[in-house]
Amino acid sequence: MHRALISGIAIAILCSVIGLFLVLRRYSLFGDAIAHSSFGGIALGLLAGIYPLWTAYGVSIASALIITKIKDRYNISGDASIAVLLSSGIAVGLVIIGLSGGFTIDIFSFLFGSILLVSVNDTILILSLTGGILVVILLLYRQILYSTFNEEQAKVSGIPVEKINYLIVFMAGLTVVTSIQLVGVLLISALFVIPNVTAIMYGKGFKQTAIISMSFSIFSVVIGILISYIFDITPAGTIVLLSIGLFAGTIGIKSAGLLSKH
């Protein structure tokens, strides 16, 4: 439980931060697409007898970078490129699973998450990646923020927007695969999107929105893990349902006129 809570809080912070940049860039489903591409990497690792998360990291990051390059070079819309990435990852995974003889318990643990079984090494890896990514974001905060809100103006100002975009994609790939142990491949996009969309509805500035999003994400993860442990239910589903509950509650508050409509 200690490892699960520590890892869960780290993942909650990481997903809310990276997810906020993706949502603001209108790439809300990009995390979901990377997660589905990681499914192919997980299947490949199980087939080859390699620790699945290592192959998932490689496949997810490579797929995300390649599809981003294709999108930029051939002027393909963001939603179309995400659809290609999402469907190709699932297709590759299903073919590899068929070659390996079908679904296994290991595959299902990656599909739906298994945070209560996280090891000491996994916890160290999660904390290390979380710390590293947050340091990079803090160091390049102004460039990332500027290119997120006004890409054309950022280019004129001399900011290497293309490199920043690739960096965001790279960090998103790392975050998605790291987060699979918490909520699994099928629900990962919820952790990226729902807390951030909920926070944005409060109509605050960027920093305040980021703090609200992190607070909602941490609350959902911690309470979700505790409830799942007490009642012996799936942590991933519980975490996402709590996030949806916060989202619904915010809509109710806003509908009552207690929040700014802007």
**Do you know the residue count of the chain?**
262
CA dist 20 and 196 (Å) reads 6
63 against 15, higher pLDDT: 15
Distances (CA, A) of 89 to 30, 95, 229, 249: 13, 10, 32, 34
CA dist 159 and 213 (Å) reads 27
CA dist 152 and 220 (Å) reads 36
CA dist 8 and 179 (Å) reads 8
Element (H, E) at 39: helix 30-48
User: Cβ neighbours of residue 14 under 8 Å, at least 6 residues apart?
Assistant: 129, 130, 133, 134, 175, 178, 179
pLDDT at 128: 95
Boundaries of every domain in the chain:
2-186
Work out the average pLDDT over 191-212: 93
pLDDT at 112: 76
Work out the average pLDDT over 68-89: 76
Confidence class for position 104, pLDDT limits 50, 70, 90: low
Work out the average pLDDT over 134-141: 95
pLDDT at 146: 92
Class of domain 2-186: mainly alpha
Cβ atoms of residues 54 and 45 within 8 Å: yes
Confidence class for position 5, pLDDT limits 50, 70, 90: very high
Confidence class for position 103, pLDDT limits 50, 70, 90: low
CA dist 30 and 172 (Å) reads 8
| HEC assignment per residue over 88-142 | HHHHHHHHHHHHHCCCCHHHHHHHHCCHHHCCHHHHHHHHHHHHHHHHHHHHCHH
CA dist 149 and 248 (Å) reads 27
Q: Is the dihedral of CA 6, 12, 15, 16 positive or negative?
A: negative
Work out the average pLDDT over 240-255: 93
Instruction: Tell me which residue of 243, 137, 132, 230 sits closest to 196, measured CA to CA.
Output: 243
pLDDT digits (tens, 9 = 90+) for 29-61: 888 888 888 888 888 888 888 888 889 999 889
For helices 235-255 and 206-231, give the axis angle rounded to 10 degrees.
130
What are the DSSP calls for 45-84, one per residue?
HHHHTS-HHHHHHHHHHHHHHHHHHHHHHHT--HHHHHHH
